[in-house]
Amino acid sequence: MNNKQQLTGYVYSNDLLQYRFSNSHPFNQMRLKLTTELLTELGYLKPSHIIKPRIATDDEIALIHSYDYIQAIRHASHGILSDSEAKKYGLDGDDTQQFRMMHKHSARIVGGALNLVDQVMTNQITNGCHLGGGLHHSLPGRANGFCIYNDVAIAIKYLMKYYNQRVLCIDTDAHHGDGTQWSFYTNDQALIYSIHETGKFLFPGSGHYTERGNEEGFGYTVNMPLEPYTEDESFIETFKATIEPVVASFNPDIIISVHGVDIHYLDPLTHMHCTLDALYQIPYIIKSLADTYTNGKVIMFGGGGYNIWKVVPRAWTHVFLALLGESPLTGNLPEAWIKKWQHYAPITLPNTWQDECEDFQVIPRKDEISEINMKRAQQVRSWFI
Ligand SMILES: [Zn+2]
């Protein structure tokens, strides 16, 4: 399909920044504003692209989550959740904390996803992104890993129920997309693929390649775990080697993808060793699969990404550029953007689109890591060819 005939949506409102656990929490939605302003400054993002989120209804959230969990989130919103309930619903630790109005702010992220789905499915746009979403860890009855409502899983179920779609989910966040996996583990109408750092040393611990689904869903969960300190070449080669046969075999109606950008070597929460180069390639690979298999229909979510100054804005800019069909950027970042945000940044902001690489450590086991990853990829690939 000619890219020029495709229309792209971008979910945004300042209200999305209110999904916020505390001032010191690593999940910081300021990264969404930084990205949005960068895209605007570059001239790519225009008011006509913007899709406003809405507050999802309880019945929509209940496509994945239990009503008692939704009720618990409402109680937490008003500070009246008991200690025993907080423990039961995963809201008692430092990771996923309670905050004022958390139901409304979480339901808005879901509503952003559903508005985007509706626009794609009614052919108002071909593709779009919701970088404020991608909360792939939350489970049907439990908050998990900074995630309250799983907007990704809800969007997939909504596509299945209201639009009769067979959905391929491609999750490239450094962490395994456990909440999404378990929501569709026995289902054969959605195929859930996740490429991530092995759970041996990283939250949530799941995502082993032998987790392949159950009952009718057997073969419809695909996990591609990677060794810690995996670098760009190995990530891209194993990603392509596994996702290409998966998409050809499943032949989806639409692709949903999760673009956590925490595989970057400067991300403080993971042990991956990729650069912006891999992060720029990933959305283009997925966009190309959508053009080949789903008539261009793809919805890209955000996800993790905890270096909000040096990594997230530059990486997520390329999610939107890939959807627009524009080429990756080189050269300098816009001066006006740097000038505005340097005032708030605790570090010196980068001024080009490439990594500065001054802190990049050479990994002595690179060849061994790449070999282990490729051996695993060949195993996963063999199930689909
Ligand atoms: Zn992550």
Measure 257 CA to ligand 1 centroid, in angstroms.
13
Measure 196 CA to ligand 1 centroid, in angstroms.
9
Under 8 Å between Cβ of 173 and 185: no
Measure 329 CA to ligand 1 centroid, in angstroms.
25
Measure 173 CA to ligand 1 centroid, in angstroms.
5
The yes-or-no verdict on residue 192 having pLDDT over 50 is yes
CA distances from 308 to 85, 246, 257, 363 (A): 33, 32, 20, 24
Q: How far apart (Å, rounded) are the C-alpha atoms in residues 385 and 367?
A: 26
Measure 263 CA to ligand 1 centroid, in angstroms.
8
Mean pLDDT (the chain) is 96
Measure 202 CA to ligand 1 centroid, in angstroms.
10
Nearest to 79 by CA among 55, 103, 95, 62: 103
The tokens for 27 are 């999940």
Measure 139 CA to ligand 1 centroid, in angstroms.
15
The yes-or-no verdict on residue 1 having pLDDT over 90 is no
Measure 231 CA to ligand 1 centroid, in angstroms.
16
Measure 174 CA to ligand 1 centroid, in angstroms.
5
Measure 122 CA to ligand 1 centroid, in angstroms.
31
Measure 89 CA to ligand 1 centroid, in angstroms.
21
Measure 200 CA to ligand 1 centroid, in angstroms.
15
The tokens for 84 are 């025993």
Q: How far apart (Å, rounded) are the C-alpha atoms in residues 318 and 300?
A: 11
Measure 336 CA to ligand 1 centroid, in angstroms.
30
The yes-or-no verdict on residue 4 having pLDDT over 80 is no
Q: Where are the alpha helices (H) located in the chain, listed in sequence order?
A: 30-42, 58-61, 67-77, 83-88, 102-121, 151-163, 178-183, 232-250, 276-293, 312-324, 335-342, 366-382
The yes-or-no verdict on residue 246 having pLDDT over 70 is yes
The tokens for 37 are 């302003």
The pLDDT of residue 65 is 98
Measure 303 CA to ligand 1 centroid, in angstroms.
6
55: DSSP letter: P
Measure 204 CA to ligand 1 centroid, in angstroms.
10
Measure 266 CA to ligand 1 centroid, in angstroms.
13
The pLDDT of residue 202 is 98
What digits encode the pLDDT tens for the residues 217-233? 999 999 999 999 999 99
Measure 229 CA to ligand 1 centroid, in angstroms.
15
Measure 258 CA to ligand 1 centroid, in angstroms.
10
165's CB contacts (< 8 A; 6+ apart) are 121, 159, 252, 253, 254
Complete DSSP assignment for 317-377: HHHHHHHHTPPPP-SBPPHHHHHHHHTT-SSPPP-BSS---TTPPP-TTHHHHHHHHHHHH
Measure 137 CA to ligand 1 centroid, in angstroms.
9
Measure 260 CA to ligand 1 centroid, in angstroms.
6
Question: What percentage of the chain carries pLDDT values higher than 70?
Answer: 99
Measure 12 CA to ligand 1 centroid, in angstroms.
21
Evaluated on CA atoms 209, 210, 211, 212, the torsion sign reads positive
Measure 136 CA to ligand 1 centroid, in angstroms.
9
The pLDDT of residue 3 is 46
Q: How far apart (Å, rounded) are the C-alpha atoms in residues 152 and 11?
A: 14
In three-state secondary structure terms, 8 is strand
Evaluate if pTM is beyond 0.85.
yes
Q: Tell me the backbone φ, ψ of residue 129, rounded to 5 degrees.
A: -135, 155
Q: What is the largest CA-CA distance in the chain?
A: 56
The tokens for 44 are 């790519």
Determine the average pLDDT of the residues in 97-125: 97
The pLDDT of residue 357 is 84
* Type of residue at 78: H
- Identify the weakest region by mean pLDDT among 3-7, 284-288, 304-308: 3-7
The tokens for 186 are 């026995």
Measure 45 CA to ligand 1 centroid, in angstroms.
26
Q: 3-state SS of 182-201? A: HHCCCCCCEEEEEEEECCCC
Give the sheet arrangement for strand 221-226, strand by strand.
50-51, 8-11, 127-130, 298-301, 254-258, 167-171, 190-197, 221-226
The pLDDT of residue 51 is 98
The tokens for 298 are 């793809």
What does the CA dihedral 46, 56, 29, 351 come to, rounded to 10 degrees?
Answer: -20
Q: What's the CATH fold of domain 23-52+126-382?
A: Arginase; Chain A (3.40.800)
End-to-end CA distance of the chain: 26
Predicted confidence band of residue 45 (pLDDT cuts 50, 70, 90): very high
Predicted confidence band of residue 93 (pLDDT cuts 50, 70, 90): confident
Question: What percentage of the chain carries pLDDT values higher than 90?
Answer: 96
Measure 92 CA to ligand 1 centroid, in angstroms.
20
Determine the average pLDDT of the residues in 303-331: 98
Measure 315 CA to ligand 1 centroid, in angstroms.
14
Measure 102 CA to ligand 1 centroid, in angstroms.
21
Measure 254 CA to ligand 1 centroid, in angstroms.
23
Measure 306 CA to ligand 1 centroid, in angstroms.
9
Determine the average pLDDT of the residues in 12-25: 95
